[in-house]
């Protein structure tokens, strides 16, 4: 019998994704991997057990059986990313077991220590290095794609206007003006989605290197006349800048914001609080009926008035701080995540066995706990 890989149902409140989708099982076909899954794990994502059984997955009698028998356990939200109910799994882990999933390693070190104490090897999907050969394993990018798309739909749904320009017998409807702040994966997807819905779209990012990408999607790249030397770190992420830079940025940004009907804010710095780019003053200059969708809400938000998980009304401007957007489109989110995690697992298997080679950059970067210790600073 090959290596047994377990898939469990997600227990985090409101989480509808699943770590393995039936279509991604095939990625591991020639590796000798066999799957065991908790019954109903994929149901909320739109995948019934029967679709897994067709792919050769064995359905376990219960959650405990999966943990007892599997050498590797796949999760969407591991312990650190599930503070509410994740601790219930601690008693189920076997020493020497490997767990792969999201685990908020940069912000929940206590969970890492608990996993280490349980003797679990934990590989965090958030820490996947942004290098070419790991691109197909980059789950943060996959989930950001979904968040960017959904953010625009939320904005369109709550805006008292339509997005496209329409010529009708009752007159011409002018298109909505949408500004997307942050042109990472989520931002670019938001730009593309707003554009498809017919809005007039602008994009802003402190990294001027992304100008071409923004323009290739049919959006205008907003240039604030200021000095932004070296706003990108070596990993291609935006890096935190000095206070004077942000003050000048906010001043210039206020003018741009006042002309928009919708603002989608996506600016995040990995492992840190999201930068405040939209102040209460700037919101005050926006027309009533405008909408801000702040998808950086999970990291505190890009808007000073954002309340994670809530919608705030400020002078007729709606500020929305949606959480876990990927979970609201669980079918495709699970499909993409499962493909990322299966590709990663396949990469870790040598001759039918799990090989955590700590000289390998991908392993070294993602490995949080190993052999009873927290090994990632």
Average pLDDT over residues 50-56: 97
Q: How far apart are CA 346 and CA 355, in angstroms?
A: 10
Is the pLDDT assigned to residue 250 strictly greater than 70?
A: yes
Q: How far apart are CA 79 and CA 103, in angstroms?
A: 6
Among candidate residues 75, 72, 33, the one with its CA nearest the CA of residue 56: 33
Is 331 designated active site?
A: no
Cβ neighbours around 110 below 10 Å, total: 10
Confidence (pLDDT) at 5 = 98
Task: Report residue 23 CA to chain centroid gap.
Answer: 21
Confidence (pLDDT) at 376 = 81
**145-165 residue pLDDT tens:** 999 999 999 999 999 999 999
Q: Which of 5-19, 75-89, 125-139, 219-233 has the lowest mean pLDDT?
A: 219-233
Is 141 designated active site?
A: yes
Which candidate in 130, 161, 248, 285 is catalytic? Answer: 130
Confidence (pLDDT) at 248 = 80
**116-140 residue pLDDT tens:** 999 999 999 999 999 999 999 999 9
Q: Which of 34-48, 231-245, 305-319 has the lowest mean pLDDT?
A: 231-245
* Sign (positive or negative) of CA dihedral 121, 111, 109, 119: negative
242: confidence class by pLDDT, cuts 50, 70, 90: confident
Is the pLDDT assigned to residue 230 strictly greater than 70?
A: no
Which candidate in 75, 141, 142, 290 is catalytic? Answer: 141
183: confidence class by pLDDT, cuts 50, 70, 90: very high
Which candidate in 69, 135, 216, 259 is catalytic? Answer: 135
Among candidate residues 279, 337, 320, 341, the one with its CA nearest the CA of residue 150: 320
Confidence (pLDDT) at 239 = 62
Which candidate in 17, 44, 138, 142 is catalytic? Answer: 138
Among candidate residues 288, 226, 293, 241, the one with its CA nearest the CA of residue 263: 293
Residue 28's contacts (CB-CB under 8 Å, 6 or more residues apart) are 5, 342, 345, 346, 349
Is 347 designated active site?
A: no
Q: Which of 49-63, 201-215, 265-279 has the lowest mean pLDDT?
A: 265-279
Domains of the chain: 4-127+330-371 (3.40.50.720), 147-327 (3.40.50.720)
Among candidate residues 190, 146, 66, 55, the one with its CA nearest the CA of residue 335: 146
**185-226 residue pLDDT tens:** 999 999 999 999 999 999 999 888 999 999 999 999 998 876
Residue 50's contacts (CB-CB under 8 Å, 6 or more residues apart) are none
Q: 280 is written with which tokens?
A: 């209460």
Is the pLDDT assigned to residue 237 strictly greater than 70?
A: no
Is 97 designated active site?
A: no
Is 259 designated active site?
A: no
Which candidate in 113, 133, 216, 237 is catalytic? Answer: 237
Q: 63 is written with which tokens?
A: 């959650």
Confidence (pLDDT) at 241 = 72
Average pLDDT over residues 290-299: 96
């Amino acid at each position: 019998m090959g290596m047994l890989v377990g898939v469990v149902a997600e227990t985090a409140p409101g989480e509808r994704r699943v770590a393995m989708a039936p279509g991604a099982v095939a990625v591991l076909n020639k590796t000798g991997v066999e799957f065991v899954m908790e019954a109903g794990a994929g149901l909320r994502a739109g995948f019934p057990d029967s679709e897994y059984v067709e792919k050769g997955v064995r359905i376990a009698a219960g959650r405990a059986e999966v943990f007892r028998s599997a050498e590797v356990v796949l999760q969407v939200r591991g312990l650190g990313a599930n503070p509410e109910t994740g601790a219930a799994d601690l008693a189920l882990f076997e020493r020497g077991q490997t767990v792969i999933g999201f685990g908020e390693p940069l912000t929940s070190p206590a969970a890492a220590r608990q996993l280490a104490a349980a003797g679990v090897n934990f590989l965090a999907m958030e820490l996947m290095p942004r290098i070419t050969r790991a691109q197909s394993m980059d789950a943060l990018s996959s989930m950001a794609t979904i968040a960017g798309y959904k953010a625009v739909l939320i904005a369109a749904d709550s805006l008292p206007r339509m997005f496209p320009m329409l010529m009708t017998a009752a007159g011409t409807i002018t298109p909505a003006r949408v500004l997307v702040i942050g042109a990472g994966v989520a931002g670019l997807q938001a730009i593309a989605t707003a554009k498809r819905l017919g809005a007039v779209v602008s994009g802003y990012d402190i990294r001027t290197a992304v100008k071409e990408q923004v323009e290739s999607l049919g959006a205008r790249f907003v240039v604030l006349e200021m000095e932004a030397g070296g706003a990108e770190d070596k990993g291609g992420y935006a890096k935190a800048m000095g206070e004077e830079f942000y003050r000048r940025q906010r001043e210039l940004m206020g003018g741009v914001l006042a002309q928009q009907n919708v603002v989608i804010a996506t600016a995040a710095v990995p492992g840190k609080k999201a930068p405040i780019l939209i102040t209460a003053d700037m919101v005050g200059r926006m027309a009533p009926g405008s909408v801000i969708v702040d998808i950086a809400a999970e990291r505190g938000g890009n808007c000073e008035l954002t309340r994670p998980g809530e919608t705030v009304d400020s002078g007729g401007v709606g500020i929305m701080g949606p959480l876990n957007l990927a979970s609201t489109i669980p079918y495709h989110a699970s499909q993409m995540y499962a493909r990322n995690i299966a590709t990663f697992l396949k990469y870790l298997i040598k001759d039918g066995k799990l090989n955590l080679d700590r000289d390998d950059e991908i392993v070294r970067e993602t490995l949080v706990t190993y052999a009873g210790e927290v090994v990632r600073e």
